[in-house]
Amino acid sequence: MINPLSITAAHPGSWFLFGISDICDRHHPTLRSTRRESTFHSNKTAMSLLAVTLYALASVADAAAGKRGLVFTPNAEYPQDNKMWPPPASDLTWYYNYGSLPSPAYVNVAQDQFEFVPMMWGVGADPSDTKWLTEVKGVIQDGRNITHALAFNEPDAPNSWGGSNVDPHTAAQAWVANFEPLAKMNVKLGLPAVTGQPAGLDWLKQFLGNCSALVSSGSSQTKNCTFDIIPLHWYDNFAGLASHIGERRALWPDAEIWITEYAYAHQELSPTQQFFNQTVDYFDKETYIGRYSYFGAFRSKNSSVGANAPFLNNAGKLTDLGSWYLGKSATGVNPQSKAFSLAPSGLVAGSVAAFAAVMMTWI
């Protein structure tokens, strides 16, 4: 989705979506009848319901630990936005920036606090060039514990679409030169992140075939290139995403899945938020999903995936999606607004907060 030459630019807890009555039914079926029996039982009910609420929030945070990351696409016009993403301002644990070196904004953030994952965006004129590998080794020598690396951004797509536009054979040559040495250093490797189009899978199969031929050259045995991770990009609905993941799982059942770019692009606010909630819940629960990074860390007016998908409104305020993704509560900020304004979900969040405050007075 991103051409680095042109870069300028949590989940709320499922209980938010169902209402207070449904919380009672789903988590503690006896609460509603118990609440009516006496003042004593009312207090007990309030305490139980508050515990359920707090448990739901804690469960979401625990589930996301280690998985949720940042696709860092900084905008030089708004350097202040960069401070929103790393800990302790958020629950995010890792990031990538389509490049080999840590971003200047986070160069002083410890690797164990906000893990940098290097990526080789595309391939230059000479696929045997190892400049990228040399830079990554330099980062390691400087003291960063690089444990994962990613390859080639949408090589099956043209540059005009944000892809790196690399043919499978050339990509395989660059992989053997730059990534296989990292495998020997115990760095886990992510395959090229092709598009979600059918042609992407064809490209990936051709790449692996070419890669196998290169590493098997001169050997009497067929070898395969080393990889640990299948990165995915997706910008359509949830059903399609689940099917897309299932397809990759069927082909490479032992590989970990990373969703390194995703959003429900160019949709109205409600389906955008619904998709977000479905995906985060799914990713956090499934053990074969190793990590994920939503494509939305920018302002609405700078978005290439629609006005409702980003984490920030036009004034740089966190939207509900942005705040949820960082492990915080809904803000009620409309993605397309220039200042603070309550979106419908913000009203719901406000009601829940008010209800929690009332419960505290009962205890």
Domains in the chain, CATH or no CATH each = 4-12+66-329 (3.20.20.80)
Matching residue, tokens 């067929």: 222
For 221, residues 6+ apart whose C-beta sits below 8 A from its C-beta are none
When pLDDT is cut at 50, 70 and 90, the band that residue 20 belongs to is very low
CA distance 165 to 210: 17
Distance of CA 227 to the CA centre of its chain: 20
For 108, residues 6+ apart whose C-beta sits below 8 A from its C-beta are none
Coil, strand or helix at 217: coil
Coil, strand or helix at 160: helix
pLDDT tens per residue across span 266-280: 999 999 999 999 999
pLDDT tens per residue across span 303-314: 999 999 999 999
Question: Residue 291 pairs with which residues in a beta bridge?
Answer: 258
Does the pLDDT at position 29 exceed 70?
Answer: no
User: When comparing pLDDT for 168 and 222, which is higher?
Assistant: 168
Number of Cβ within 10 Å of residue 60's Cβ equals 21
Instruction: Please return the burial class of 320, using the count of CB atoms within 10 Å of its CB with bins 0-12, 13-18 and 19+.
Output: buried
Does the pLDDT at position 30 exceed 70?
Answer: no
When pLDDT is cut at 50, 70 and 90, the band that residue 64 belongs to is low
Instruction: Please return the burial class of 268, using the count of CB atoms within 10 Å of its CB with bins 0-12, 13-18 and 19+.
Output: exposed
When pLDDT is cut at 50, 70 and 90, the band that residue 219 belongs to is confident
Q: Of 237-241, 258-262, 321-325, 349-353, which range is least confident?
A: 349-353
Sign of CA dihedral 341, 344, 346, 348: positive
Alpha-helix residue ranges (DSSP H) falling in 221-332: 238-251, 269-285, 320-325
Mean pLDDT to the nearest integer, 149-172 = 97
